[in-house]
Amino acid sequence: MHNHILSIILFTPLAGAILLLFVPRENKNAVRWIANIFALAGLLVSLPLVPWFWAQRFQPGFKFIEGAPSNWIPSIGAGFYLGIDGISFLLIMLTTLLGWISILSSWSAIEERTKEYYVWFLVLQTGMLGVFMALDFFLFFVFWEAMLVPMYLLIGIWGGPRKLYAAIKFFLYTLLGSVLMLLGILFLYFNNHSVTGVYTFSIPELYKTAPAIPFHFAIWLFLAFFVGFAIKVPMFPFHTWLPDAHVEAPTAGSVILAGVLLKMGTYGFVRFSLPFFPSVVTQPTVRGWMIGLSIVAIIYGALVSLMQKDMKKLVAYSSVSHLGFCTLGIFALNPLGLSGSVLQQINHGISTGALFLIVGVLYERRHTREIAEYGGISNVMPVYAAITMIMFLSSMGLPLLNGFIGEFTILQGTFMENKLWAGLAVIGVILAAAYLLWLYQRVFFGKVTNPKNEKLRDLNLRELVYFAPLVAIAFWIGLYPKPFFEILQQPVNQLVQTVRPGYPGTNMEVKKGSEGLAPATAAGANAPAKTLAVREGGR
């Protein structure tokens, strides 16, 4: 079990999808029960990973490695090779949780082609988990592309009125990025052979040879990967497919798209762009562009959110703004920025996933998302109103909730690099409060002005069950984020040392068996920036 935990987590949803193929499509309840049982099983089998990983959190390198390089298709050097570090561990746990919540939230929403819907959703879940586990570039690309078809079908078949337009736009954008990324992968593959004489797609092996690629090649490779990952995030100006996809997708599709799929882009930057091309990402011009695009996304996404009349579109544009913070933290290129970015990716999955569920609850009852159709909802749905307020405050980054910790850490890391960058990014925090509180005021406060809203029923037990873990995690990260920073400590340190060798000073120390993250003495007034040091047993 311990040796094959990643494979078990990876293939549990796929087993459910295969089993559903043998269930008669007329028996919708059996289809729903089986899909929900396997989605929950996918979450439950991932839970043992938590204590096992925690015990190894300070150890360097990838953990729970399965398979080996070149053991799958030896003739081309591709292997079924899995392993995780602290970054992928957190994203896997987020994926198994949101996968179960998404499928549970679909119970009463999907009435047509129910069987096909759940089969594709479980296949999508397997593809997403595979991306975070793969240590072989060929395998990574297979999973990356495998997610494209289920998401295209979920939008194109079970979406809204303009579903085909949104699905095709999503598919074409993502495919363009994938093709460029594939060319970059092949270059790294052949470059590795020219250096070592070995054909392999093994990511740990490519880490050794990629940084030595001459700059005039590395810059083009960086751009190839950048387009692939920037479309997935999506960064400005590649974001235009996202609002369409979100608005047309079924509620569960929006939850998984915002919660997990968009993290593929930020994960790609952290896992590949930074360690493969350190000479490029540290170039002031390249870094300036990355930071600039991130800040534009933060402010632009928030401003457009302020002007929306459709609740789902407002949440979709808020995603563009929040993910701008994630890319800002990545290209701050220091431990605080990177740790904050990964934590904010988790926070975004929790908060924005919950916001799409919140919109979905109203849509199921009234079949409209127009803000003008509502008002005074807290009078008839008090529990729903309370949960909505918590998740809105979480999304805008109120202290004691998860969004604050991520945004604060990113802004702290950015401020250490450049005060102007941090000053501009703060505008996004203010605007987030504006559009979310204004939305809440229009939908929930005042009297019920529309007679259609007078008889709306409050949350049922199933809806409470899927909101409960999201609210609990929002408070957990907000009140006690130390475990998350400890998990991220080792991989983030390693990444910073790869990109900026000899990064000076210490800002936070982790001592094994001690109080964990604790502020340390500044390295000196003139230290340009500070790093996180890992100490094991006083080493």
pLDDT in tens, 69-78: 878 888 888 8
Q: Which residue has the tokens 């969004």?
A: 403
Distance CA 450, CA 437 (A): 21
Q: What is the pLDDT of residues 414-463, one digit of tens each?
A: 998 888 988 998 998 889 889 899 888 888 887 878 788 777 888 888 88
Q: Is the pLDDT of residue 527 over 80?
A: no
Q: Is the pLDDT of residue 509 over 50?
A: no
Distance CA 301, CA 233 (A): 13
Biggest CA pair distance of the chain:
74
Q: Is the pLDDT of residue 98 over 50?
A: yes
Six token digits for residue 54: 């925690």
More confident residue, 248 or 537: 248
Peptide bond into 237 cis (omega under 30): yes
Instruction: Tell me what percent of the residues of the chain surpass a pLDDT of 70.
Output: 93
**Residue 347: which pLDDT band, with cuts at 50, 70 and 90?**
very high
Residue 235 has what DSSP assignment? P
Q: Is the pLDDT of residue 1 over 60?
A: no
Q: What phi, psi does 519 have (nearest 5°)?
A: -60, 135
The 3-state DSSP class for residue 343 equals helix
Closest to 320 in 3D by CA, of 303, 333, 307? 303
Domain ranges of the chain: 282-504, 506-535
Residue 271 has what DSSP assignment? I
**256-260, 265-269, 285-289, 297-301: which has the minimum mean pLDDT?**
256-260
Q: Is the pLDDT of residue 101 over 70?
A: yes
Q: Are 294 and 327 in contact (CB under 8 A)?
A: yes
Closest to 142 in 3D by CA, of 123, 169, 157, 158? 123
Q: Which residue has the tokens 């387009």?
A: 227
Distance CA 198, CA 227 (A): 28
Q: Over range 502-522, report the average pLDDT.
A: 41
CA distances from 448 to 308, 342, 373, 477 (A): 21, 41, 10, 35
Cα(first)–Cα(last) distance of the chain, in Å? 32
Q: What pLDDT is stored for residue 532 in this prediction?
A: 37
Q: What is the pTM of this model?
A: 0.87
Distance CA 435, CA 323 (A): 16
Q: Name every residue whose Cβ is closer than 8 Å to that of residue 148 and which is 6 or more positions away in sequence.
A: 171, 174, 175, 178
Peptide bond into 234 cis (omega under 30): yes
Q: Are 184 and 219 in contact (CB under 8 A)?
A: no
Give the angle subtended at the CA of 483 by the CAs of 482 and 485, to the nearest 5°. 65
Q: Over range 148-174, report the average pLDDT.
A: 85
Q: Which residue has the tokens 């904010």?
A: 344
Distance CA 510, CA 90 (A): 19
**Residue 507: which pLDDT band, with cuts at 50, 70 and 90?**
very low
